[in-house]
Amino acid sequence: IMAFLISPMIVPIIITAAGIFAYYSKYHLAYTDLGIILAHAVLGTPFVIIAVTATLTGFDTQYLRASYSLGARPIKTFARVVLPLTFPGIMTGALFAFVTSLDEIVVVIFLASEEQITLPRLIWSGIRQEITLTIRHRKVPTGLENLLQIWEKQALNLWGNRSSAIDPSKIG
C-alpha cells in the first residue's frame, strides 16, 4: 500500500501528468478546477504520507493507554494526545505538498484550460515571457560587485604575503 501511495513521487511528472489527463478525460475532469485540485492533492499526498509516517514511527502507544486508563474517549484521545504529537509531521507534509504544488507546471499545462490561470502557470509565464530589463540591469552590477570582491581579496592576499615576508629584525 505504501508503494502505491508514494508512486506519484517516484514516477516522472510528465508520465503522471499524461496519465492523469487520460484518466480525467474519460470522466470530463480535464480542464476543470476540480480536476486541477484533485491532481495537486494526488501529487502532494506522498509528502504528507512520508512525513506523518516518520512522525508515527516514534509514537509511543503508552500515551494512548494512559489516556484510555484515565477515562478519555477515542475522539478526545485523538484530539489531546495523537494530534499534538503528530502535528509537526502533518505540518511538514503540508508544507512540502504546498511547495510541490507551486512547482507542478507540467500538470497545469496538461489539465488547465486557457482561461484557468493558476499560480504555477502565472509564474511560468512570468519567467518565459516577461523577462524585464530590470533583471538584466541587476545582474550586471552584481557581477561587477563580485569581480571587485575577488580582486580585493586577491590584492589583500598578495599584500598580506608581502608583509609577512618582511623580517622585523632586519628593519633598521
Per-residue cell: 130? 516577461
pLDDT above 70 as % of the chain: 74
Each residue of 3-21: pLDDT tens digit?
888 888 889 999 999 999 9
pLDDT of residue 120: 84
How far is 2 from 55, CA to CA, in rounded Å? 15
- Residue 23 in this model has a pLDDT that exceeds 90: yes
**What tens digit of pLDDT does each residue of 148-171 get?**
677 677 666 666 655 445 555 555
pTM to 2 decimals?
0.66
Mean pLDDT of all residues in the chain? 82
pLDDT of amino acid 1: 85
Task: Return the number of other C-beta atoms located less than 10 Å from residue 88's C-beta.
Answer: 13
Residue 133 has pLDDT above 50, yes or no: no
Give the integer Cα–Cα distance in Å for 30 and 76: 41
- Phi-psi category of residue 110: left, alpha or beta, with phi > 0 → left and psi -120 to 50 → alpha: alpha
In the predicted model, is pLDDT for residue 142 greater than 70?
Answer: no
Give pLDDT tens digits for 64-104. Answer: 999 999 999 999 999 999 999 999 999 999 999 998 888 88
**Mean pLDDT of all residues in 99-121:** 88
pLDDT recorded at residue 145: 66
Q: Average pLDDT in the 100-115 region? A: 89
pLDDT of 140 strictly over 60: no
